[in-house]
Structure 1
Amino acid sequence: MVAPSDEELQAQRSDFGLRLSNSMAKYGPLCVGIDPHRKLLTDWGYNVDAEGAELFSMRMLQAANGRAAAVKFQTPMFERYGAKGFEALERVLYAARQMGVITIVDCLRGGLSTTISAIADAYFKPGAPLLADAITLLPYYGARSLNGLITEALENGRGVFIASLTSNPEGMSLQTAIRQSGDYRGRTVAFGIASNAQQHNADIDGMGSVGLIIGATIGQWMKDSGVNPSEFTGPILSPGYGWQGAEAKDLKTVFRGTRSNVLVTVSRLIASHGPDIASLSQATESIALDVRQALMEATAEGDENQ
């Protein structure tokens, strides 16, 4: 077996970022969150079980297809049903691949090397049962503990999103804590995570494949974190818009000066218009326009402040 050339390796490592960037340029910066909550299943008239979760997901996927840059599946919403729930997730991921929709699995994985090899087998490698374009990672075993898994993702043309500044208020004290040792001593935990992620994107032309999770509701403590999203060249996945309280003004505050690399996740605000696919599709289009406008204004404000 012939080892890939440096050019081929570079192409693999940049593949996810390129595909996502192209999708965002075509459809805008919206990621439709597919989260089959119990209440939504009941509101839609579905049973609260694996079949209901699958039916819900297929409808949300149809509404997102051609109207959003990506979709994100919340693993615990399927995991609660055990083996049948994972089977449902496998099928909706397969359906998304058939549609050509970029998929993110929000599983917040992390761990030691033996755990990481299993995660790669599950999500990244050819024939993986839960094959996805990207997954979310939790870096609190140490950001560098993820390097092996990140390498597995990149060498298979996939991507990752690492939790850095999450939208839950309880995360502030941990993420803005000052590091006492290591490369980023004296800087915040969030800064170290973001800086480590950026290293994987440093030699990539365009948008990298290693992303961050930065919530849209964290504007009031953004400065405390030391993280500047406008300096990050990978994709940024941003939850919190809509149901969790963030508005267009929050996107402009947090993402001022960013360069078309912010992907805003919206779930329940769209799902509340279901189960009618036409209504879901219309809501997706409307929210996609709102998000695009807010981020365009954030970029423009950054240009004015330079």
Structure 2
Amino acid sequence: MSTPSSEELQAQRSDFGLRLSNSMAKYGPLCIGIDPHRKLLTDWGYNVDAEGAELFAMCMLQAANGRAAAVKFQAPMFERYGSKGFEALERVLYAARQMGIITIVDCLHGGLSTTISAIADAYFKPGAPLLADAITLLPYYGARSLNNLIDDALANGRGVFVASLTSNPEGLSLQTAIRQHGEYKGRTVAYGIASTAQKHNIGIEGMGSVGLIIGATIGQWMNDSGMNLSQFTGPILSPGYGWQGAEAKDLKTVFKGTRGNVLVTVSRFIASHGPDISALSQATESIALDVRQALMDATSESIPTND
């Protein structure tokens, strides 16, 4: 078996970013969150069990198909049902692959590098039971603890999203805390996470494959974080729009000057129109237009530079 050339290795490492960028160009910057909450399952008339979660997910996939750039599965909503829940997640991930939809599993894994190396076997490698295009990660064992797992993802043409500035208000004190040691001493925790993630995207033409999670509701924290998202070249996954309170003006505040690399997640607003596929599809198309326009406005507003 021949050793891959440097060009082939670079192509593998850029594969997810390229595929996601093409999908966003085709369908817009919307990611549909597939979160089978108990209340939603009840409202839809489904059982609150693994079968109900699977039926819910399949309907949401039909609404997403041809209307959204990606879908994001909330892993704990399936894990709650144990082995049957994992089986349901495997099947809906398979269905999404058959439809050609880019999949993100929101599992927020993190830990020591020796521990989380097994995650690649679950999500990234050929034949993985939960094969996905990308997963979400927590960097609070140290952002570098994720390096080996990120390398495994990139070597298999996959991607990751690392939590940096999340929507939960309790995260403010931690994520904007000033680092006392290390390479980013004097900078915020969020800044160090973003800068470490960006290193994996250096040398990649177009959008990289290592992304960030930046909540759409954190506009008032941006100055405190010291981050300039216009300089980040990987994808940015942004929850919080719609049901959680973020509006178009918030997208303009948080993502001013970005490079068309923001993927906005919407879940419950769309799901509230189910289980009718036609109504779900119409809600998806409506919110997709809103998100596209808001991000176009944000991108058109440049960030002042210090001359």
Taking structure 1 as the reference length, the TM-score comes to: 0.99
Provide the identity percentage.
87
2:206 aligned partner: 206
Shift in Å at residue 113 of structure 1? Answer: 2.5
What is residue 143 of structure 1 aligned with on the other side?
A: 143
- Give the drift of 1:221: 1.2
Q: Deviations along 1:179-211, whole A, 9 cap, x unmatched?
A: 000000000000000000000001100000000
- 1:168 aligned partner, one-letter code: N
Give the letter for the 2:76 counterpart: P
Structure 2 unmatched runs, 5+: none
Q: Return the offset for 1:110.
A: 1.2
The runs of at least 4 aligned residues of structure 1 exceeding 4 Å deviation read none
Equivalent-residue separation in structure 2 for 1:193 and 1:113 (angstroms): 16
CA shift for structure 1 position 114 = 2.7
Residue identity in the other structure for 2:178: I
Q: Aligned residue for 2:68?
A: 68
* Cα shift at 1:302: 1.7
Q: Does 1:189 align with 2:189?
A: yes
Where do 5+ consecutive residues of structure 1 fail to align?
none
Q: What is the SS of the residue equivalent to 2:160?
A: strand
Is residue 100 from structure 1 mapped to residue 95 from structure 2 by the alignment?
no
Task: Give a deviation string over 1:214-260, Cα, whole Å, max 9, x none.
Answer: 00000011100011111100000000000100000000000000011
Which residue number corresponds to residue 177 of structure 1? Answer: 177
SS of match in other structure, 1:237: strand
Letter in 2 for 1:152: D
- Corresponding residue for 1:241? 241
Moved more, 220-229 or 36-45: 220-229
Quote the residue 1:89 is aligned against: 89
Cα RMSD (Å): 0.8
Aligned letter for 1:109? H
2:44 corresponds in structure 1 to 44
Of 108-117 and 128-137, more deviation after overlay is shown by 108-117
What is the correspondence of 1:212-251 to structure 2 with a 5 Å cutoff? 212-251=212-251
SS at 2:162 equivalent:
strand
Aligned-partner residue type, residue 298 of structure 2: A
Distance 1:286 1:11 in 2: 35
Q: Which amino acid letter does the alignment assign opposite residue 161 of structure 2?
A: F
SS at match of 1:54: helix
Residue type at the aligned position of 1:38: R
| Paired position in structure 1 for 2:31 | 31
Tell me by how many angstroms 1:112 deviates.
1.6
> Helix, strand or coil for the counterpart of 1:201?
coil
